[in-house]
Structure 1
């Protein structure tokens, strides 16, 4: 974890002055609840101890000057000329600026320094962390009095309009709203939420990054969404009150979808069952039943691999491999699929040994390096200075 002194020093080196505020916004993991968000279902995320850091100060002109440490790149634009670029890291910051101005908030020129320690390509939502860190930094810098949920929503819209990614709200919400030692049960329909205990005792959360990103991820994502939408349309033919899969029961699916569109039926059935797994996970966490939580992770992976079909051979291999060890209570792929990480619930005393055993086996099997990422559930966005 970086320190505010390190970030402050680097800001001063770039801009020749001291930063007024330094904000940290974390990446996130999702304990369970995949592909439920765009079906108005439930998710169970929390922030981690790896994040994005933003240092800011006002300028006495109308310039927006941005510097990203990882790209060693300085970018400058007039506040009145802020718009989406064809591509680039700047869009995650400029999108927040654009959204704030569109909502009528008054901004002036500012300098902004950006750095972070979230592993790139691991599916830990570094983009949402950038958006939330930027939103919080500008909120305090210009005294805008925006609440945390609104900042998360602004970040989501920034990603839609400037980065061109039609993401759900989970990533930004987790980055902004998390509390250390707890997970958020978030209702993606109305953003109602509650905190559940994440007391792991002798266990810890280990992420294993496959370091693959299969090209069919985006097209498959769109196909899955369409399957769910087809089910909803078929059910609506008989049950007019249905708005999304959230309103659909298994009986409705069997009656209205199974015989007409089996593919849509299988995909939608997974979503219904995944929502139920989120509910069960909350019960297990409240009762401190980590064994049952682990079993639920394995069950979810089976569904993601065999029914929703968003896994890949590398993810499946990692989940199957850890099943042989009683020190691993559960594992599953995490995120959209076709690459990224598995999330593993591992006994602390076995964590390093598991990594030591698995890295060479994975390398031999796939010719790829396996990256182990140790994470600690942490607080959401914080003003450090």
Structure 2
């Protein structure tokens, strides 16, 4: 990872772009791809047979709607989890994590015990695939990634889909991306204990270069939405982290389910704003605000797509600003750092709009930026965030990448 010695490291596509190279001198380090290939040869004294990757994601708009059967619009990031691997004949997986400097051996056909830590994602994937009677072949490998952990960019889904892809290539399966996304979601829900929706795994499986993915989280229907070359997506890492499994995420989900039960609908996806407003006095004020966010956010997703397709960049940015205000005031999942970084972004040159992204309570914001002003935007963020009291921030000007894939080692 190339790090700039400043309060904001400015990235473009995983390496510093020409238009920002004047900001600082880069420190060279290996990419995750290079790291897993080199470490595999060191650990196993052979070349890997396969190399797989699965991306993290940033959600442009549609936050906390996925588990309410709503609409989302993420992109697959050009930051990913990488695994170099070779199949073997033993009924187990041996995996070394370079990011955690730990190794784990997981049997494929024995009862597994739940614990805590990164290895639980591997055990969860093994558990759910075993229940589905999938043919699991043993393999040994090395894993590393450059999706920031706990930043709201779905490092967990990236790891899950990379593991699923590893099992697919080791066992020579036909890759079914939507099926794999659903199984990985189940692994995170049932084994890890994170009651997430389907969005993160779906975009990691189905991402397409140069496109955002519109996902109907009820029907699982998808639509690729082209991102115009005139727009850049800036991911702004506050440097603060959440612990989502132990946070108020599951509490928010319960409050949404309470609202749905009050209106006798399957999910808040089925509730109109008019009906919600008509019953405001009958609802607990907190539950009302949670529901209002979800109902209005679904509308914002649809309007955002229309704005993008119509070239109305200012309108798209306005919808992002409205989304952040709703997440801050109604859903109460923002934080001081997220409010600060998105406010700085809105004042920077070329910014159409900005919002927090991910589960909240820390992590990242996302901004829609005029691509001709990315340099000015980045420089303004570097000085503005620090001047406003922000610390340890980083900004990534990102491109939309392909979903989970196997590549030549």
Q: What TM-score, normalized by structure 2, do the two folds share?
A: 0.86
Show CA shifts across 1:299-337 (max 9, x none): 111111122222122211222223334511110111111
What's 2:327 paired with? 304
For the 8 Å contact 2:207–2:402, the answer to whether it is kept is: yes
Residue 87 (structure 1) aligns with: 116
Secondary structure, in 3 states, of the residue corresponding to 2:281? coil
Other-structure match for 2:51: 22
Q: Deviations over 1:186-245 (max 9, x none)?
A: 11112111111111x233111111112367995533333233222222222xxxxx2111
Q: Distance in 2 between matches of 1:278 and 1:367?
A: 29
Residue 339 of structure 2 corresponds to which residue in structure 1? 316
Superposed CA deviations along residues 279-304 of structure 1, whole A, max 9, x for unmatched, are 11111122222221111111111111
Using the TM superposition, give the Cα deviation of residue 79 of structure 1 relative to its aligned residue in structure 2, in angstroms. 2.6
The CA RMSD over aligned residues, in Å, is 2.2
2:32 touches 2:145 (CA, 8 Å); kept in 1? Answer: no
Residue aligning to 2:377: 354
Show the 5 A alignment for 1:59-98.
59-81=88-110, 83-98=112-127
Structure 1 residue 108: deviation in Å?
Answer: 2.9
Cα pair 1:91 1:163 within 8 Å, conserved: yes
- Contact kept in structure 2, 1:234 and 1:257, CA below 8 Å: no
**3-state SS of the aligned residue for 1:47?**
strand
Of stretches 322-331 and 152-161 in structure 1, the one that deviates more from structure 2 is: 322-331
The answer to whether the 8 A contact 1:206-1:343 is kept is: yes
Structure 2 residue 161 is the aligned partner of structure 1 residue 132: yes
Partner of 1:251: 274
Comparing 212-221 with 130-139, greater Cα deviation is found at 212-221
SS class of match (1:233): helix
- Where structure 2 has 5 or more consecutive residues not aligned to the other structure, the ranges are 1-13, 15-30
Please give the alpha-carbon distance, in whole angstroms, between the structure 1 residues aligned to 2:243 and 2:97.
27
Alpha-carbon separation, structure 2, partners of 1:206 and 1:229: 33
Q: Which runs of 4+ in 1 moved over 4 A?
A: 3-6, 214-219
Q: What is the number of residues matched between the two proteins?
A: 379
